[in-house]
Structure 1
């Protein structure tokens, strides 16, 4: 197995805010705590140590052990759970929705990133323990986003009506999904392993949270990964003081609103807009916003009304009904975990950057933010096709038009790169503009109009010549298009569309072992992996 690395800025698939973050541009400095370098974790460990208590550790371990009580786990995962009670143990966390059968391929990259970062930190800080955590987004209620996965270009969907927190959904109807998925798999050993994993996860468990925990445990338990479900009454007890403060003072609304203004001033897009109160109330089959009224608090679309914030908590010792939205879920996570770093995608980290002042107001340490590993998997067959076309894998990151233009130019006797001609034309019209300004300035507009017309004509000519030459090389162009569409489905990163089973069917657990070797979380480069 070989791999090559490409700077994220050269891929064309990452946002400006992430590229500027990786470049450590000064204008982003107010929106994060410490940059993810190995030496910066020393101060992060010290800061988290001062905040995180032994009492919280005990509650965390008790809750995790209860969540795992029906599941067979590895010695590595059990050791990591046991270590969480120690003051020298810290976590590295990633989170994800409970997508059916893990959803997009990058789900694996997230988890591999946290496992590998824990290894690097252990080597750098041997007196401490570092536990990789997968945080299940079991309280989300957007069922449409998670009810399907893609396999062999087929969209496999869980067809049912659903409402409320997705982790609490029972698994009825998933036997039909299993039959469809099974019929698409081949008869090999790894395919049968996938059948078994799917069946045990989704047909033998009671709800989607349990199914997701089983799946992730089956894939990653031997690497010591610990799965945490935040929809837990013990854990939410730890969050009660922060929920009360949010209800009474609208802390996140005030802070995020101000931060959003500053982020927009720097020219970046806002990911999430705050509400006055950023908490939900979860009930039987519903998850609704809590809003403030003159008479107290109301749960939207229900008859639930409370005079004070404390009244929300009076009638129950259990707090399963409290749920933060996208802006408060990170705070909840950092309150209950001895966490140092959150590993996420570009969109996730962008909304974490909206939260630094919110964390400061709640007096909770803000974690290191690390962009997860991103990768392209290339089969031997695809590599062979690339070589035959006389292209390099990095060429396929070009737009399809630019890629074909590059290859056609390379083989054609005609040069289709009109950049030099444009520069000549622009220089000529610049001279005419100067001449016009010395004679009659009213001519300048006419000169500019003529320049625009000539440049547009040059563009049309270039496109017509390229189109004619592409017709001569129809077979070559078609082969390039087909291969690029394989590597980048829908002209997007493969990791956003394919499911891990596309590769697991052929490579089995060796797929994950290969990712663990190839992906370097702190290198912060895009990885192309030749399988």
Structure 2
């Protein structure tokens, strides 16, 4: 594939806060640690204090990967080596995370992981005496099923209809057959469809829980590149986080610190992504993930009869830390406690909400990772590329509105004069004479003449728009190509990566799609990458 890189600011799809962060706006400096540069990583490596229990981490990961042996006796050599490497003090992780979207959900799920793999490679080249392991953190404790139970290919929405409760990673996959058949039907039989169909069939029928199914699917796509997949819904990992769980629920520290940071960020014009609660943990059991609230000197689990005194709560955390699930503002802290992590890779909204968290990390003495905006991209097939080429546009032009592209194309290719500028200049001369004549009779008539001129100017501009519209009809066939490539690349007016599934592209390109993404993404250059066939 050929790669075309465009500044994020030039796409019109990224917030001012994100572009300010990438441009090193000093006003944002208090809200993060090191810059997303090789120099920033070098500085962090000199001071990084790892809190993770490496032996426990390897033990948990090894057990989780052993579950894949149910259907595959061969695991990626590189992933296995990377897990073992985590025992060493000179090994660090580069982490991205996402919910357990069925069939991986939108394209940016794939883009996040490709970014992590590429950055880990580049850091190894820059710091050869250290090891860097790309990690996909499965958001297995998330409970928002409506956000993950569907995916889109073209205009077709494939949905897993089910009444779900509790952590999504623990959901049974036995009812996904209808959605699975629909997905395989969309893939068809051509190209690499059979290969991908076999992967998803195995993932969702040979594994009983969604977390295990997702691990198999992601490993099938990325295992050969050394990706390590972690499910942090584990009692041994939660045990390391237990002291902070206890301190934060009882002291409500995160609420105080993050609220103060949010107030400071709002003064800078930052749109706040998440707001903390007084208690930022859920109580987690099979089929249950509900908020913990403190009322009448008792800790209550909403939607249940579960209650704790403070003493009982401390005991419950000590004996069953796995029952306490961090919400969106505490999950990042949990991640940094149990991983020897250097960087977190997220989308624009994620990076902004991480900016809200720095003061809470400081309070607990946990190192803050380098924040990396994931690579954003667009996949352009030969068919779509031909439409762009036939209209004569450059890749950078495709981000302009369709109507602006059509207007520009018509004005460039028409043989007609679509403006009335010359005629209007002649009319202005006449109006000056009329205005002088009227003012000679009565000075108060001059404003009336100006009003008539303004109305006529408006009428002339309206006529020009009609002339342009008429000329567009004369080029209707060619202009339809603009609509075709705009709809393909910006479905519903949004970025392709935010709605479309990777499946049809994998059918076309196979595993080469993943390889090309990793090869062409440049995580620290912060450019939008358009990949054309």
Mark the structure with the bigger radius of gyration: 2
CA RMSD of aligned residues (A): 2.7
Q: C-alpha distance in 2, partners of 1:447/1:524?
A: 55
Q: C-alpha distance in 2, partners of 1:257/1:12?
A: 30
TM superposition outliers: structure 1 runs of 4+ over 4 Å? 413-422, 445-462
The answer to whether residue 90 in structure 2 is matched with residue 93 in structure 1 is no
Give the 3 Å change call, closer, same or farther, for CA 391–417 of structure 1 in structure 2: farther
Partner of 2:164, secondary structure, is coil
Partner of 1:85, secondary structure, is coil
Give the 3 Å change call, closer, same or farther, for CA 392–35 of structure 1 in structure 2: same
What's the counterpart of residue 393 of structure 1?
395
Q: Is the 8 A contact 1:257 1:273 kept in 2?
A: yes
Partner of 1:70, secondary structure, is helix
Q: 1:382 aligns with which of 359, 365, 384?
A: 384
Q: Is the 8 A contact 1:103 1:149 kept in 2?
A: yes
The answer to whether residue 405 in structure 2 is matched with residue 407 in structure 1 is no
What's the counterpart of residue 439 of structure 1?
none
Instruction: Report the more deviating stretch, 162-171 or 488-497.
Output: 488-497
Q: C-alpha distance in 2, partners of 1:482/1:281?
A: 49
Q: C-alpha distance in 1, partners of 2:186/2:225?
A: 29
What's the counterpart of residue 7 of structure 1?
7
Give the 3 Å change call, closer, same or farther, for CA 476–261 of structure 1 in structure 2: same
Q: C-alpha distance in 1, partners of 2:154/2:464?
A: 38
Give the 3 Å change call, closer, same or farther, for CA 170–383 of structure 1 in structure 2: same
Q: C-alpha distance in 2, partners of 1:199/1:183?
A: 12
Give 1:399 shift: 1.1
Give 1:105 shift: 0.8
Q: 1:69 aligns with which of 62, 66, 70?
A: 66
Q: Is the 8 A contact 2:166 2:285 kept in 1?
A: yes
The answer to whether residue 217 in structure 2 is matched with residue 220 in structure 1 is no
Deviations 1:112-163 (A, max 9, x none): 1010101110011111000000000011111011001112431111111101
Q: C-alpha distance in 2, partners of 1:162/1:419?
A: 64
Partner of 1:526, secondary structure, is strand
Partner of 1:164, secondary structure, is coil
What's the counterpart of residue 275 of structure 1?
277
What's the counterpart of residue 58 of structure 1?
55
Give the 3 Å change call, closer, same or farther, for CA 447–332 of structure 1 in structure 2: farther
Q: Is the 8 A contact 2:248 2:254 kept in 1?
A: yes
Deviations 1:490-509 (A, max 9, x none): 11111111111111111110
TM-score scaled to structure 2, two decimals? 0.90
Q: C-alpha distance in 1, partners of 2:292/2:421?
A: 58
Give 1:201 shift: 0.4
| Equivalent runs, 1:18-167 vs 2, <5 Å | 18-48=18-48, 51-53=49-51, 56-72=53-69, 73-167=75-169
Q: C-alpha distance in 2, partners of 1:26/1:112?
A: 30
Structure 1, gaps ≥5 residues long: 423-444
Give the 3 Å change call, closer, same or farther, for CA 524–417 of structure 1 in structure 2: farther
Deviations 1:474-519 (A, max 9, x none): 2222221122111211111111111111111111101111111111
Q: Is the 8 A contact 1:297 1:309 kept in 2?
A: no
What's the counterpart of residue 489 of structure 1?
491
Q: C-alpha distance in 2, partners of 1:105/1:448?
A: 56
Structure 2, gaps ≥5 residues long: 70-74, 425-446
What's the counterpart of residue 371 of structure 2?
369
Q: C-alpha distance in 2, partners of 1:512/1:177?
A: 24
Q: C-alpha distance in 2, partners of 1:113/1:23?
A: 20
Give 1:284 shift: 2.6
Q: Is the 8 A contact 1:202 1:211 kept in 2?
A: yes
Q: C-alpha distance in 2, partners of 1:123/1:453?
A: 67
Give the 3 Å change call, closer, same or farther, for CA 332–407 of structure 1 in structure 2: same
Instruction: Report the more deviating stretch, 464-473 or 76-85.
Output: 464-473
What's the counterpart of residue 258 of structure 1?
260
What's the counterpart of residue 72 of structure 2?
none
Q: C-alpha distance in 2, partners of 1:242/1:263?
A: 25
Q: C-alpha distance in 2, partners of 1:115/1:168?
A: 27
Give 1:186 shift: 2.5
Give 1:452 shift: 9.2
Give the 3 Å change call, closer, same or farther, for CA 388–88 of structure 1 in structure 2: same
Q: C-alpha distance in 2, partners of 1:112/1:142?
A: 25
Q: C-alpha distance in 1, partners of 2:413/2:366?
A: 60
Q: Is the 8 A contact 2:5 2:529 kept in 1?
A: yes
Q: C-alpha distance in 2, partners of 1:222/1:421?
A: 68
Q: Is the 8 A contact 1:165 1:287 kept in 2?
A: yes
Partner of 1:68, secondary structure, is helix
TM-score scaled to structure 1, two decimals? 0.90
Q: Is the 8 A contact 2:237 2:338 kept in 1?
A: yes
